[in-house]
Structure formats: C-alpha cells, structure tokens
A = this chain, B = another copy of it.
C-alpha cells in the first residue's frame, strides 16, 4: 500500500480497572484485521499506550468505528479501562523505510 492512505493514532492511559482489557484489545485487533480497507496495525505501551491502525480510506475508518462489537468495546473503554485517550485521524502523505 503506497500513500496516500489513512492512520488512526490512538494514544491512551489506562485506569486501575483493567479487568477484561487485554482480552478485549486482542479481540478488537482480530476484528479490525477482518474489516474492509484494513492495512496494518502497530502497538506499544509503557505508561502511555500508542496504537496505530492503518486504513485505505476515511470511509473504512468510519465503518470500523460504527461496527457494533467495536462500539461495545468503546463503551466499556470509557466506563472502565481508560482514564484518558486521544484519537487522531491522519492522512499518510509520504513514507520511507530503512532495513539493515
């Protein structure tokens, strides 16, 4: 996939109620991968968690956000797992890679 394509940067801090979080995160990752327009996924957490998903179009991002299971996960995320998060919808304009 060459640019332009889209990225959703999801940056988060967890609350102290993390029961069920890991399992849900795994389920959502599996489901996202089956969505139309899905390109890729990158994730790392220290205290701050960063999850980036890559998509072919804004329409694909909208469809994934509206997915019913994903909506339930978003609801639980707000009620329980996250103390803070920020979502940024981005257009990837250019990219380059280094391989040693």
Contacts and interface: CB of A to CB of B under 8 A. Distances in A.
Contacts of A67: none
B11 A9 contact: no
Interface in A34-89: 42-46, 48-50, 52, 58, 78, 82-89
| Chain A interface SS verdict (over half) | strand
Contact of A90 (B50, B82, B85, B91): B91
Contact of A48 (B7, B43, B82, B100): B43
B88 A95 contact: yes
A49 B93 CA distance: 21
B89 A94 contact: yes
Interface of A: 3, 7, 9, 11, 15, 42-46, 48-50, 52, 58, 78, 82-100
Given A7-B88, A15-B100, A44-B49, 9 more contacts: A42-B50, A44-B50, A78-B100, A82-B100, A84-B97, A85-B97, A85-B98, A86-B97, A86-B98
